[in-house]
Amino acid sequence: MVASVAECSLRYGALPQLPRYEFDGAYIQRLIAEDPETERHFSQYFGELLTLKLRSRLKSQTQVDDAKQETFARVLTTLKRKNGLASPASLGAFVNSVCNNVLFELYRSGSRTTPLEDDVDPPDDRRPDVVASIAAGEERVRVRRALESLPEKERELLRWLFFEERDKDMICRELKIDRNYLRVLVHRAKARFREQFDAGDKD
């Protein structure tokens, strides 16, 4: 039963559609009972974090999706088998450690087999559902607007870093700053981006 979340206070600015949940014993029991709303929250919240983590370690989106699904399957299986977690608040740490195991096994199996060429990775023919597609489209618009509202200097710095992927030391030399200050500039850009992104949610 998800009545306890009916207040819909927002837990995350970045995920405004996500209601607030506490990772407590009740949450885990709802997961074990396959409550659809809790399952949706669980897969959305941890799905984004897992994608973020896995993207830097795996080559293709298909591998990322597979590792994510495997992580979810193992977490849910374990929770059902053990009927919960000794410390429900450590659910996040548990998901992360299961993901580490999945990654470790992937690396091991990868080293025993001949890897395919990069371009052999078949296209992912799984189709996102319509609601997810619309949400992704809306979010893209909000991200674009938030980026457009940044001062030109900040946008240029972000483009150098993440689009052109320029060498950071060269950027520092060009801007006559050190690496610490580069982080500060990114921090400020991120704060401004968040402000604008959240403002887009209120429109």
Partner 1 sequence: MEHREAVDSLATERYILGEMSEAERDAFEEHFFTCEICADDMLVADKMRTGVRAGLAKTAAPAVTRQRWPIAVVIPWAAAATLALVAGYEALRPAGEAGSLTGPMALAPMTLRPATRGEEPTITATPGGVVTLAVDLGVARYDRTLSYQIRNDRGDVSGSGSAAAPTPGAPLLLLVPSSVFGASGRHTLTLGDARGAQSVDYHFVVKIQ
Site residues, partner 1 (CB under 8 A)? 11-15, 45-46, 48-49, 52-53, 56, 89-90, 92-93, 95-96, 100, 139-140, 143-144, 146-148, 150, 152, 155-156, 158-159, 161-170, 173-174, 179, 182-184, 186-187, 189-190, 193-194, 197
Smallest gap, in angstroms, from Cβ of residue 61 to partner 1? Answer: 12
| Minimum gap (Å) between residue 2 Cβ and partner 1 | 18
C-alpha–C-alpha distance, residues 104 and 102, integer Å: 5
Comparison of 93 and 132: residue with beta carbon closer to partner 1: 93
CB of 31 to partner 1, least distance (A): 16
Query: In angstroms, how far is the first alpha carbon of the chain from the final one?
Result: 31
14 or 135: CB nearest partner 1: 14
- With a CB cutoff of 8 Å and minimum separation 6, the contacts of 80 are 32
The H-assigned helical ranges of the chain are 25-32, 36-55, 61-82, 91-112, 130-148, 152-158, 168-175, 179-202
Which residue's CB is nearer to partner 1, number 33 or number 91? 91
- Name the residue nearer to partner 1 (CB basis): 33 or 118: 118
Smallest gap from residue 83 Cβ to partner 1 (A): 22
Structure tokens, 106: 């992937």
Whichever of 79 and 189 has its CB closer to partner 1, that residue is: 189
CB atoms within 10 A of CB 21: 18
Residues facing 10 on adjacent strands: 19
Could you give the CA distance from residue 153 to residue 185 in angstroms, rounded to a whole number? 10
